[in-house]
Structure 1
């Protein structure tokens, strides 16, 4: 049993003073407001829920910063993808586990409590299945357990290289499954997730490029009650190719042809018309926004104001994992809106704090997208974090969240996942051993890449 006393805490109805939270069995047992700390309480200045990271490709953490050299012509998402494929084809299971553990440790230090792992590196380097078809899923689960982050595992179904069932290209050989192999992967993944505290399983049709309509319909029941995630409308070329194939835009086609509802998370959804934006919001699906990656890849800017005005929900993810920072994802999301609209404080409601609005929306949308629950209230998982405000002690509670998102001087101090302390004083409790294995893996990978 752990008892936390916070001078300020972000509760479902807003910021409250002198809050005492009792943690028991991985959940929040009770929340008291306006009470003094008692002997033995762990004392903190500002307590808030930790945030779900709804979209990650763990293996791509290995190539962070290694795709920033311009080629002979204009670079794009598609030229970046060629570099990513090269890295994907070089990694052994031990590399993947070491890289994922480092990544998940960094997520915890950044204030994330759960990760939606959009997992599509399934097979051996030559494209053949491992003796255990879920070998790589086992490694992802082991990394999440070592780091202590909660896992929503989203095994990806990937069968084609383009719309209309095009044959996969050579660089995709480690990703490809047919329906029978994918069903076997899902069956084994269910057993893996069942061993993880708070583990959740969903399905992830990679994109409309990578699945046929028949395949998309066939894999949805495998999610049972779990979430369904899909990349959609990330790139202009993707929209153009979808129109050429079907006569409809990607989001338009998906909404017309699939039972999109609150279990769905549409990753990126960058290039939508006003009608598509309203329809996604009205469907109850979550928009999975990855602002750092979307900026890094030159994807475009999501239309947040119209989406929110229509009742839409969003969460944030770190996607390619080039930078792990909750505050940077939220800041870049807001700044992209300001740049596109020549305005300020776009995502906040009238009279409201932008930092608070960003955090609350990322919390609620991220939890929905990953099939979990959140918030500092009895019965919810004890997924919590505290802020280090030692450098800005003069700030009022009302300004701390804005400072965390938009300025320097406020960082993450302590993080609990299901009541277990995973980071303290901004540092993961197993940082040294996890980082040592990561450094060894990266040295080996880069030697292979240049050898």
Structure 2
């Protein structure tokens, strides 16, 4: 049994001082409070729960920074997507595994303990089908196993290029399934993740524009108790196209035609009106916010303050993985609200820490969205932990909620010391145990892709 002593511990009930955590395999066996360290204890400044990353396209880490040149016309999400399609078109299974492993190492070093991998590159170069329909998904699972991050695998159902069942485009040929082949993919994905501890498989209709109403209903029924993730209302053009197709905005259409409940994650939901905000909150669904990617793509600003006031639940994800940073996602979420509303400490409650409000809400929403709702440190709960160092200048002399505030708003790295997932230490002194080997494989893959 591993015993960790920490000066400060963030539990489900709040901060505990001078605590000893007894880890028994993947679980926290007991938590002692207000005690002295024992001989042989591993000592830390502060320990908090690891954060779920509810939305990732791991392969896009390889193209980070390659879409920052202005074109002849106005650049937007759709011009970025063309570059992404070209990058995805060349990627082999080996390339995918190497890039995903690099992304997962960076996530763990940032303080994420679980990733929701929204995986849609299913087929071989040119759209040819692999003998194993889960060939590419198995590479995602292998990258998760190699790095030790907990995996919620979300195989994407993608059938159409736009609303009304429009035929897919040439750039989408590696993504496409019908419901019959998708059902086989789901079964194989459950098999390939089975050896990974605490793994989960969900379903992921890509977006309303990529599925018909009939396909959406069939996909959601395939795993009736599993997470359901969907991109929705990310772009203004998407809202306009949905209105032209159905007479309704995307979120309004979804809430009116599908039994959306707490197993759903609506990714982005950037462009929503007041009625849609209330509807999402009532449904119990989680909104998956990816502030760094949403800013990078010029998506817009989600009305988080109104959503939280309505009782809505959110989590955060790294999406395109253009810059992998837990503190970056949460601080930018708050800062965009401040910029749009002309106010400070928007997400926090009066008299309470904004950083803590952000962290606890994202823990709860992200865990639920990924089918792992116990994202807190309790006896008998999972040993998914992050230790924070107080050696960084902004962290010195900080305690309690001020630790979280200073981590999120006043540092640029160097705060995450160790990370455990299912009781196994994957990061120590800020470095993943396999960082060098993973980086070497990533470098080889990128040399081949950029040749």
Same fold (TM > 0.5): yes
- CA-to-aligned-CA distance 1:238-278 (integer Å, 9 cap, x gap): 00000000000000000000110000000000000011001
Q: Where in structure 2 are the equivalents of 1:350-429 lying within 5 Å?
A: 350-372=350-372, 373-392=374-393, 393-408=396-411, 411-429=415-433
CA distance in 1: counterparts of 2:442 and 2:285, whole angstroms: 36
CA contact (8 A) 2:392 2:415 kept: no
Counterpart position of 1:242 = 242
Q: CA RMSD of the aligned region, Å?
A: 0.9
CA distance in 2: counterparts of 1:22 and 1:45, whole angstroms: 16
For structure 1, which runs of at least 5 residues remain unmatched after alignment?
none
CA distance in 1: counterparts of 2:223 and 2:28, whole angstroms: 28
**1:133 to partner: Cα distance:** 0.7
CA distance in 2: counterparts of 1:223 and 1:281, whole angstroms: 23
Residue 209 of structure 1: SS of its match in structure 2?
helix
Residue 108 of structure 2: SS of its match in structure 1?
helix
**1:66 to partner: Cα distance:** 0.3
TM-score when scaled to structure 1? Answer: 0.98
CA distance in 2: counterparts of 1:434 and 1:284, whole angstroms: 38
**1:35 to partner: Cα distance:** 1.3
TM-score when scaled to structure 2? Answer: 0.98
CA contact (8 A) 2:355 2:401 kept: no
Structure 1 ranges of 4+ moved more than 2 A: 391-398
Q: Where in structure 2 are the equivalents of 1:154-303 lying within 5 Å?
A: 154-303=154-303
Query: After the TM superposition, which of the residue ranges 372-381 and 433-442 deviates more from structure 2?
Result: 372-381
For structure 2, which runs of at least 5 residues remain unmatched after alignment?
none
CA distance in 2: counterparts of 1:388 and 1:226, whole angstroms: 36
CA distance in 2: counterparts of 1:232 and 1:419, whole angstroms: 35
**1:42 to partner: Cα distance:** 0.9
Query: After the TM superposition, which of the residue ranges 140-149 and 375-384 deviates more from structure 2?
Result: 375-384
**1:224 to partner: Cα distance:** 2.9
1:441 maps to 2:445:
yes
CA distance in 2: counterparts of 1:96 and 1:391, whole angstroms: 35
**1:395 to partner: Cα distance:** 2.4
**1:397 to partner: Cα distance:** 3.1
CA contact (8 A) 1:31 1:376 kept: no
Paired positions, count:
447
Residue 127 of structure 2: SS of its match in structure 1?
coil
CA distance in 2: counterparts of 1:81 and 1:251, whole angstroms: 22
